[in-house]
Amino acid sequence: MESASGHDQLTMYVQPQFEESRPAVLHELIRTHPLATLIVIHNDDIAVNHIPLFVNTDKGDLGVLQGHLPRANSIWESFDGKTKCVAVFQGPATYISPSWYPSKHEHGKAVPTWNYVVTHAHGYPRAVEDKDWLLRHLNKLTDQQESNQRLPWRVCDAPTEFTDKMLSHIIGFEMPIVSIQGKWKVSQNRPAKDQLGVIENLLKQGDDNAMAMADLISQQAT
């Protein structure tokens, strides 16, 4: 079993203080931000697509990513179980002004930066054309995304003949995760007073993204 961080396969630069290697934390980011930037070599070029993925943590050492895409999107032809692919999941991200640091007002030695959290999952996807697999996958992904809706929509709400037609136009894929890496850049490199200053100003901004980042900084600071 490879480690969650998989240092021999990583392509993302991560300073030690920002590294996040706990699989449960990385999987949770995938669940809460499932729209992946999927990168694969296809026809001697780099293909980049944006596809929602479901992580099955009951399969494989590090979990298995499952997704689907239109048959018209030819990248699935490279999903042969041998071609390397990386799925990037982006969580909250915010600009951080140096004016938020109390230490800046003491000595001026501060610069702007961005805080962000991200997960990279590497693997070798294989295409899945089985209709029953596709239907199970769509149910799992839909149920996950509809869980916070007042009246959750379900795949079975659509007429069977309509669903069958839609299934004929898509193809599924599975990607066992062979290495997974996280970068949680949430002001760990700043002294406690600067962390508090960042949290205070993010809370003043009040938008969902700023509030989420303030919470992440608070978690790291404790």
Give the CA distances from residue 94 to residues 19, 117, 173, in Å, rounded to whole numbers and listed in that order.
18, 10, 33
> Half-sphere exposure of 22 toward its Cβ, with a 13 Å CA cutoff?
6
Which residue segment(s) compose the domain that 121 sits in? Answer: 7-94+112-189
Is residue 207 included in any domain, yes or no? no
| DSSP state at residue 78 | G
Q: Is residue 149 part of a domain?
A: yes
Residue range 152-160: average pLDDT? 95
Q: Tell me how many domains the chain contains.
A: 1
The residues, ordered by sequence, that sit 6+ positions from 132 with a Cβ below 8 Å of its Cβ are none
Question: Is pLDDT of 64 > 80?
Answer: yes
Q: 203: burial class by Cβ within 10 Å (0-12, 13-18, 19+)?
A: middle
Q: Tens digits of per-residue pLDDT, 85-94?
A: 999 999 999 9
Tell me: pLDDT of 76 over 80: yes
Res 221 pLDDT > 90: no
Inside any domain, residue 132: yes
Longest dimension (CA), the chain: 69
Among 89, 85, 68, 116, which Cα is nearest to 26's? 89
Q: Is residue 129 part of a domain?
A: yes
Tell me if 181 is assigned to some domain. yes
In a domain, 198, yes or no: no
Extract the tokens encoding 19.
């590294």
Low-confidence winner among 5-19, 28-42, 44-58, 176-190 (lowest mean pLDDT): 5-19
Residue 170: which region, alpha, beta or left (left: phi > 0; alpha: psi -120 to 50)?
beta
Q: What is the CATH number of the domain that holds 12?
A: 2.30.110.10
Confidence of residue 3 (pLDDT cuts 50, 70, 90): very low
Whole-model pTM: value is 0.90
Residue 195 inside a domain? The answer is no
For residue 126, is it within any domain?
yes
Model confidence pLDDT, tens digit, residues 96-147: 999 999 987 778 777 999 999 999 999 999 999 999 999 999 999 999 999 9
